[in-house]
Amino acid sequence: MTPNHVKQRLAAGKACFGSLLNFGDPLVAELMASVGFDWLLVDTEHGPIDLATLATMFATITRYPCAPFVRVHALDEENVKRVLDAGAWGVLAPNIRTREEAELLVRACKYPPEGVRSLGAGRFALSFKTDAPTYFQRANDEILVIAQIEHVDAVANIDAILSVPGVDACYVGPNDWCASAGLPPSLEPPYPEFEAAMQTVLAAARRHGVAAGIHSLQPETVNRRIREGWRLVGMVNDQRFLFGAAKAARDAVKTDV
């Protein structure tokens, strides 16, 4: 069974860099995976992506040494089970605010006796290049469980959330955190309140042996966050990369000559 290299690196205290996929297109997923990201997160919370497309995206991503994760559109056992059966190597649940929600996430991601995930058919074994019996035996150790921290209430409850056994990482969503704090949304917030909250999250992650993750807009910010001790660090998404490169090229060309 192919080991989850991101989970291994995070456990060793090493940083992993990735991005998000909002286009529901396996070819875009394949192209992004070929760049060399450690991980790619397929965003079913905001992207128009159905389950069959999601499974095909996982298949193209795992042609490369890139871990396919997914952000579920809502936290419940059925959503988590279906994306894992489709071949996800990790699940990020949005807007975790309480210990109870973190416990539900872990239970949904784990087979018994650690959790309640049911055993059935799917392409999960293919995603890890193994057979079903081996996958059933090892999945609980390989699946990365990520709680998204994107609300002031989540920061207030951060110790309770990150102390839940089975939570491997947290991941901050700056836009929604700002909105919950009554501040203009930003992927790189210039507010001292935000930085204070981030230090609270980072310190709690260290206390509980959880990898701290955060989303960013610029490479310089990614590098700074890694120096600060963040380990699961992401930058924008396929849509922004495409738009940014296309706009830069268009702006550089002068046709009025």
Residues that are catalytic:
46
Q: Which residue has the tokens 């469980």?
A: 145
Q: Which residue has the tokens 């836009």?
A: 175
Using the CB atoms, write b or e for 165-177: b if 16+ within 10 Å. ebbbbbbbbbebb
DSSP H stretches of helix in the chain: 5-11, 26-34, 51-61, 77-85, 99-109, 124-127, 132-142, 152-156, 158-162, 174-180, 192-208, 219-228, 238-252
With CA atoms as reference, report the closest residue to 217 among 192, 187, 176. 187
Taking the C-alpha atoms of residue 15 and residue 20, their distance in angstroms, rounded to an integer, is 17
Tokens of 122: 């799917």
The Cα-based distances of 107 to 39, 138, 140, 172, 252 in angstroms read 23, 16, 10, 21, 51
Taking the C-alpha atoms of residue 147 and residue 232, their distance in angstroms, rounded to an integer, is 12
C-alpha 256: how far from chain center? 44
